[in-house]
Amino acid sequence: MTKRIVILGGGFGGMYAARALHRRLGDAARIELINADNYFVFQPLLPEVGAGSITPGHAVSPLRFLLQGVYVRKAVIDSVDFERRVVTVFQGVQRLPTEVPYDHLVVALGQGVDLSRMPGLEEHALKMKTLEDARRLREHVIERLEHAQISQLPETKRSALTFTVVGGGFSGVETVGELKELIDRSLPFYPDIDPSEVRVFLIEYANRILGEMPERLGTYAAAALTRRGIEVKLGTGVASATGTQLVTSDGEVIDTRTIVATIGNAPLPVVRRMDLPFAHGRIAVERSLRVQGRDNIWALGDCAMIPLKEGAQERSDFAPPTAQFAVREAKLIARNIAAVIEGKPAKPFAYKSKGAMASLGARRGVADVMGVQLTGFVAWIVWRMYYLAFLPGMATRIKVLLNWVLDGLSPRSVVQLRAYVPPQLRHVYYRAGDRVYDAGSRSDGFYTVVSGAVEMTRPDPETGEMTTRVIGPGGHFGERLILGATRRKTTVRAVEDTKVLVMERDEFMKLAEGVAAFRDYFRPYMERHGVKWPPEQG
Ramachandran angles phi, psi of 116, nearest 5°: -70, -15
Distances (CA, A) of 72 to 7, 62, 66: 10, 10, 10
Helix axes of 170-186 and 131-150: crossing angle, nearest 10 degrees = 40
For residue 333, give the amino acid letter.
Answer: I
- Catalytic residue at 139? no
Could you say which DSSP state residue 323 is in? H
Nearest CA to 436 out of 467, 421, 464, 457 is that of 457
Cβ(414)–Cβ(189) below 8 Å: yes
For residues 306 and 108, give the distance between their C-alpha atoms in angstroms, rounded to a whole number. Answer: 13
Report phi then psi at 114, rounded to 5.
Answer: -130, 110
Cα–Cα distance measured from residue 42 to residue 23, given in angstroms and rounded to the nearest whole number: 21
462 C-beta neighbours (distance < 10 Å), count: 6
Direct distance between the N- and C-terminal alpha carbons of the chain, in angstroms, rounded to an integer: 51
Catalytic residue among 122, 143, 146, 174: 174
Report the SS3 class of residue 413: coil
Residue 64 to residue 367: CA distance in whole angstroms: 33
Under DSSP, is residue 409 helix (H, G, I), strand (E, B) or coil?
helix
Residue 91: phi, psi to the nearest 5? -145, 165
Residue 226 main-chain phi, psi, to 5 deg: -65, -40
CA distances from 334 to 95, 285, 349 (A): 31, 15, 12
CA separation for the pair 456, 468 (Å, rounded) = 5
Distance CA 249, CA 9 (A): 36
Q: Which helix (H) or strand (E) element contains residue 521? A: helix 516-528
**Which whole-number Å values give the CA distances from 7 to 16, 91, 198, 325, in the listed order?**
10, 16, 46, 18
3-state DSSP of 129-153: CCHHHHHHHHHHHHHHHHHHHHCCC
> CA 536, CA 137: separation in Å to the nearest integer?
31
Q: Are 216 and 366 in contact (CB under 8 A)?
A: no
- Kind and range of the H or E element at 184? helix 170-186
Q: Which residues carry out catalysis?
A: 174
